[in-house]
Structure 1
């Protein structure tokens, strides 16, 4: 199985999660809305449904959709 192209990294100690696409840093997200905006800027037309699709997005460390400090 191929690796998901979008990674939402573990929450940082200060809160927020780094988001990368194919190794390129897209930004630091503090909510799903931030992740969606980063993905739109990266060229995806309708990224919201992809957040829960493991073929597209891998949530590392912590629970998916949670951005609080670890």
Structure 2
């Protein structure tokens, strides 16, 4: 796999980070639970175990598991 298929973008000014899988927007996450739910909706049943796996999830431009506005 060349790059992680899931990207979690840094928090927006209002809080929450955009989540995308293979270029498709999945939604705005305000918690790890939101990310897990988005991934389950696209068929990744064991999504919770993937959040800290860099081959699956890339936390772009911010700290991992951080959703509050700067």
Same fold (TM over 0.5): yes
Moved over 4 A (4+): none
Paired with 1:68 and 1:31, the residues of 2 have a C-alpha distance of 9
- 1:43 corresponds to 2:23: no
Q: Give 1:20's aligned residue.
A: 20
Is the Cα–Cα contact under 8 Å of residues 19 and 25 in structure 1 kept in the other structure?
A: yes
Paired with 1:34 and 1:45, the residues of 2 have a C-alpha distance of 14
Q: Which runs of 5+ in 2 are unaligned?
A: none
Deviation string, structure 1 residues 7-54 (Cα, Å, up to 9, x no partner): 001110000000000000000000000000000001111100100000
RMSD: 0.9
The number of aligned residues is 70
Residue pairs, 1:31-70, within 5 angstroms: 31-70=31-70
Larger strand share, 1 or 2: 1
Paired with 1:42 and 1:48, the residues of 2 have a C-alpha distance of 13
